[in-house]
A and B are shown apart, each in its own frame.
Chain A
Amino acid sequence: MNRELRRISLVVAAMFLALFISATNLQVLSSDSLAKDQRNVRAIYDGYLKQRGAILVDSQPIAQSVPVADAFHFDRKYSSDMYSAITGFYSYYQGATGLESSANDYLSGKNSAQFFEQLNALFSGKPVSGASIELTIDPKVQKAAWDALGNRTGAVVAIEPSTGNILAMVSTPGYSANKLAVHSGSKSQANYNGLLASPGDPLINKAIGGSLYTPGSVFKLVVAATALESGQYTVTSELPNPPSYTLPNTSTKIRNSGGSTCGGTKTVTLLHALQFSCNIPFAELGVALGQDKIRAMAKAFGFGQSFRIPTVATASVYPDNMDDAQTALASFGQFDVRVTPLQMALITAAIANGGKEMNPQLIENVQSSNLALLSQTQPSEFGSPISKSTADGLKKMMIAAVKNGVSTNGQVSGTTVAGKTGTAQNGGNAPYTLWFTGFAPADNPKVAVVVMVANGGGLGQNGSGNIVAAPIARKVIKAVLNK
C-alpha cells in the first residue's frame, strides 16, 4: 500500500499547488484589475477610512484629509480653485481625476516605497497613512497665471527648461473640488452635474488635454526647426513671398494674416517670415520640406506621445497622409494639426535648453506621513529633437518676433524675451484660439511659458495672440523673474 500512499501524497501536493497558484493569481497577478472593478468598493472605503496623503505646494497643502466625526472619518479639503486642474478631485461617488487619480498609489499608501510601513501594519493592525506629494509648482507663478487668465477660458503651462519642472499649470475656468468630495451622495451628484453642464468645461484640464487645440502660428516653430535641422536652410535663407498663394492642385487662394504683404518684397528671409508670422512663405516652405520631415520633427518633439506627469496628457497630432494643399495649411498650424499647451511648452523649453528636451514633471518628491523622504524625482531627458545650432537659430528669430515683430506684447522690461504668438482659426465664424509661447531670459532661460486662450478670449474673431495671450505670458514671466 505504501506505493499507493506515495502517489496519493503526490495528488495532495498537486491539489495544494493548485491552491497556491490560484491564491497567488488573485492576490498578486490579477489584484490590480480586481481592485479597479467598479463593483469593488474597498478602495474607496479605504481612501476614506484612513488618512490620505496631502498634495503640497511649497510645503503648504493644496489638498489634504482632515479628521471628521462621521462615518467617513476623513474629509478631503482643497485650498483653492486655482489648483483644480492639478489636483483633480477625489470623490466617494464620482471617483477621482487629476493627481488624486494618477498619484493614488502614493496618496493611498499603496506604493512600494512604503513597504516597511505596510509590513508594520501587518503586525500592528494600524492602517498605513498615505504618503504626501510635494509638487514642483511655484505658488507665486501659479497665482500670477491664474489671475492673468482671469475669467477667460484657457490654460497656462510654465516649465523650467533645464529640469522639466512644471512651475505653473492652470486651466480655467477652475472649480471647487470640495463640492465633489462632500459626503452626501445626492449633493455630490448634483454638484457634479452642475459642473458638467457649466460653460467652459471646468472639469477638463485644458493644459494637458481632454480636447486638443489648433496651434496656428505657434506651430511655425516646428516647421522652422525642420528647415534648420535639414541643413538646406539657415535663418537668412530667402523664401518666396507672393501677395497671395494658390494651394497646390486647388483653386483656393490663401493670404497672409490680415491681408498683409509681409514686407512686399519678392522674397523674405526665414527670420523675417517668423518675426512677422507670414503664412505664405511658411506654406511654401512646408510643401518644399515635405510632410514626412515635418512629421518626424513633430514626433521628435513628442507629438503622438502621452506624457505622464503622472496624470496622462493627451497626445498631440500632426495628421497622416495629407496632400500638398493640406501640408501647406498644416505648415502654419491649421488644417488638422492639434496640440496641447503642454506639448507647445515642451517644444519651447527644448529651444530654450539648447535643443535638449526634458521630461515634464509635476511631483518633486514623496514624503511619508511622518515626513520622511520616500522618493525624490530626478530630472530626465526626453530626447534631443534639435541641435544646439538649430535651437540658437530659432531663439534668434523668436527674440526678433518679440522685440519688433508681431509678438511685441510679450516684452518684459529689463530682460530679453524670446517668443511666438499664434492666432488659430477654427473654421467658419468660430472664435479664434489665441497663443503665446516663449521663454526668458533669452540668454539664460529660467522659464518657458505657454498661454492658450480658447474661445477668442471673449473677442470672437477680433482678438489675436499678441493682444490677448502675450500680456498674460508677460505677467507669468515677471512672476518667475521677480523672485
Chain B
Amino acid sequence: MSSNVTERIAKIVRVVPRNRNTELFLLLFALAINAFEVVQVQLSTLQAVTGDFWFYWGALAGAGLLLHLVLRLRAREADPLILPIAVALNGLGIAEIYRLDIAALANHQTELFAEKQVIWSLVAMVLAGAVIMYIPSHLVLRRYVFIAGALGVGLLLAPMLPFIGKTINGASLWLSIGGLTFQPGELAKIALTIFFAGYLVQRKDSLAMTGRTVFGIQIPKARELGPILAIWVVSLLVLVVQHDLGTSLLFFGLFLVMIYTATGRAIYTVVGLGMFLTGALVASRTIDYVTKRFDAWLNPFDDGHYNAIGGSYQLVQGLFGFAHGGLLGTGLGGGVPQLVPLAESDFIVASLAEELGLAGIFVIFTLYILLVARGLRIGFNHNDDFSKLLATGLSFVIALQVFIVIGGVTRLVPLTGLTTPLLAAGGSSLVANWIIIGLLLRISDTNRKEVE
C-alpha cells in the first residue's frame, strides 16, 4: 500500500514538469505586477478603478495563461523564464500607452493607441502559440532557408516599392496596404535570422578554413566574401534609400555576429564593421536627412537643431523626461510624458523613465538582459549548429534592437526609427517579437529533450 503511494507520488512528480510550475508562478507574479500598473494608472489619472481594467489587464492575462497552457501541452520542457518576462514587458507597455491615451483624451486628441495595442498583443500571442503548436521542431525551418532569405530581403526592401511604400517622419520603413500600415522590417528580422543560420551552417567550413595567411591573419578567399558584400549592399540600400540607420545597423550587426559565431573568425567582424562604418560615415555626410540626424545627435541643445524640422526637439524633450524621472520617477500617471512626440512608440522608454525613474529603467533593462541571456543559453545547450545559430541570432537581434533604440533615446548613439521590443506601441513590432518569443520557446523545448 505505502509503496504504491510512493510510486504514485513519484509518477506525479515526473509527469508534472518542474519548469512549467516555475513558469506559472513567475507568470502569475508578472501578471500581478501588470495589474498593479494598470490600477496605478487609473488611480492617479481617473482617481478610481474602472471596468476598463479588465480590458487593459484581463486580455493580456488571459492570453498569457493560454500560452502557458499551450506550453504545458506542446513544449513541456521549454524555458520557464521567457514567457513571464515577455508578458511583464508587454503589460508594462500597455499600461504606459493607456496612461498616455488618458492624457491625450484630456487634451482633446483623437489618436489613441492602447486599445489597438491590446488587440495586437492578443493577435501576436496567438501567433506565438501557433508557432509552438504547429512547428513540432525548429529544425524543419532548415528546409525553407532560401525562401526565408528571399522573403527577408524582399520585406526589407519592400518599402522602396512605389504605391505601397510609405514614408513617415522622413524614414521609409512602412508598407501601406488598404489603409493598414505595416513595418515589414520587423518580420524581415525573423526571416533573415533563419536564412543566416541555415546559410552559415552550410558554408561555415569553407568560410572558416579557406584563405591564405598573411602576417598570421587568415584572409578569406574573395569568393567567400561575396555574400558578405551582398548583405552590406542591402544594408546600405536600406540606409541610403529608406533613410534608416537603425534597421540597417540591426541587420548588418546581426549578420556579423552570426558569421562570427559560425566561423569563429573575428576578421569577418572587423572587416564588416569597417565596411559598415565607412558606408554610414559617407552617408552621414552626403545624404541630407541622415546628416541632420547626425548633427542633431552631436549637438542636440543647439537652438538651430532644436528648432529645425526633423531636428533634435524630440530627442531633447525625451532627455528632459529622463531627467525629470530622476531616481524614483513620478509614479505612473504622475509625469508629463505626453510632452514628447511619439511618447507611446519610439520614445516609450523616455515615458517610462520619467514615470518609473532610474529604478524602473534598471528593472526594464534587467528583464531584457534576462530574456537575452536565456536565449543565448539555449544556444549554448544545443549540440547542433543550426539550433545554436538560430537561438543566438534571435536573442542577439533583441539585444541589438534594444541597444539601438534605447541608445538612441538616451543619446548614446544617433536616434533611429526602431521600436522597443514588446514595450512600444505598434502591431508589426508586437507580432514579430512574439513570434521570436515563440521560436525561442520552441527551440528551448527541443533542446531540453535532447539533454535528457
Contacts and interface: CB of A to CB of B under 8 A. Distances in A.
Given A23-B410, A28-B358, A40-B320, A125 B339 contact: no
B373 interface: yes
B380 A5 contact: yes
B260 A8 contact: yes
A16 B401 CA distance: 11
Interface in B17-42: 40-41
A119 B323 contact: no
Contacts of B264: 1, 3-4
Contacts of A11: 257
Contact of B403 (A4, A9, A19, A31): A19
A125 B333 contact: yes
B16 to A, nearest CB: 32
B149 interface: no
A392 to B, nearest CB: 52
Interface in A193-242: none
Contacts of B362: 20, 23
Contacts, number: 153
A92 to B, nearest CB: 14
Contact of A118 (B319, B328, B406, B410): B328
B358 A27 contact: yes
Chain A interface size range: 35 or more
Given A34-B320, A34-B323, A124-B44, A15 B399 contact: yes
Interface string B296-319: 000001000010000000001001
Contact of A39 (B316, B336, B385, B412): B316
B101 to A, nearest CB: 16
A26 interface: yes
Given A4-B261, A19-B365, A24-B358, A121 B323 contact: no
Given A19-B403, A121-B334, A125-B332, A26 B40 contact: no
A18 B412 contact: yes
A43 B392 CA distance: 44
B326 interface: yes
A28 B326 CA distance: 6
Interface in B386-429: 388-389, 392, 396, 399-400, 402-403, 406-407, 410-412
A320 interface: no
A11 to B, nearest CB: 8
A70 interface: no
Given A8-B261, A15-B399, A45 B330 contact: no
A106 to B, nearest CB: 16
B368 interface: yes
A192 B452 CA distance: 79
A27 B260 contact: no
B43 A37 contact: no
Interface string A112-123: 000000110111
B385 A122 contact: no
Nearest to A25: B410
A42 B261 contact: no
B326 A31 contact: yes
Interface in B324-379: 324-336, 339, 353, 356-359, 361-362, 365, 368-369, 372-373, 376, 379
A23 B325 CA distance: 11
A430 interface: no
B322 interface: yes
A34 B319 contact: yes
A8 B359 CA distance: 27
Given A34-B320, A126-B331, A2 B396 contact: no
A35 interface: yes
A26 B403 contact: no
B173 interface: no
B94 interface: no
A30 interface: yes
Contacts of A18: 403, 407, 412
A66 interface: no
A121 B331 CA distance: 6
Nearest to B381: A2
Nearest to B356: A122
Contact of A42 (B43, B339, B399): B339
Interface size, B (range): 35 or more
A8 B393 CA distance: 11
Contacts of A16: 365, 368-369, 399, 403
Contacts of B316: 37, 39
A12 interface: yes
A61 interface: no
B376 A122 contact: no
Contacts of A35: 320, 323-324
B357 A27 contact: yes
Contacts of A3: 264
Among A11, A19, A34, A40, residue most surrounded by chain B Cβ atoms (within 10 Å): A19
Contacts of A463: none
A262 to B, nearest CB: 63
Q: Which interface residue of A5, A22, A30, A45 has the most chain B CB atoms within 10 A?
A: A5
Contact of B376 (A9, A22, A118, A123): A9
A127 interface: yes
Given A23-B358, A27-B322, A27-B323, A127 B261 contact: no
A24 B333 CA distance: 22
Nearest to A49: B336
B325 A124 contact: no
Contacts of B326: 27-28, 31
B262 interface: yes
Nearest to B261: A4
Contacts of B410: 19, 22-23, 26
B392 A5 contact: yes
Contacts of A27: 322-323, 325-327, 353, 357-358, 361
Contacts of A41: 339
Nearest to A30: B323
Contact of B353 (A23, A42, A45, A121): A23
Interface in B195-215: none
Contacts of A5: 261, 376, 379-380, 388, 392
A478 B400 CA distance: 75
Nearest to A23: B361
Nearest to B337: A42
Contacts of A2: 380
Contacts of B260: 4, 8
A119 B327 CA distance: 10
Given A22-B412, A23-B358, A122-B329, A42 B336 contact: yes
B331 A127 contact: yes
A43 B321 CA distance: 11
A19 B406 contact: yes
Contacts of A121: 328, 330-331, 334
Contacts of B332: 125
B400 to A, nearest CB: 8
Nearest to A31: B323
Nearest to B265: A4
A1 B262 contact: yes
A39 B306 contact: yes
B46 to A, nearest CB: 11
Contacts of A19: 365, 402-403, 406-407, 410, 412
Nearest to B369: A16
Given A20-B362, A22-B411, A121-B334, 11 more contacts: A4-B260, A8-B260, A8-B396, A18-B412, A27-B322, A42-B335, A121-B328, A121-B330, A123-B40, A125-B40, A125-B332
8 smallest CB-CB distances across A and B, nearest first, come from A125-B44, A34-B323, A26-B322, A31-B323, A27-B358, A22-B410, A125-B331, A40-B320
29 contacts: A1-B388, A1-B389, A4-B260, A5-B380, A8-B257, A8-B260, A9-B376, A12-B369, A12-B372, A12-B396, A12-B399, A13-B369, A27-B323, A27-B327, A31-B324, A34-B322, A34-B323, A35-B320, A35-B323, A40-B323, A42-B321, A118-B328, A123-B331, A124-B43, A124-B44, A124-B331, A125-B40, A125-B43, A126-B334
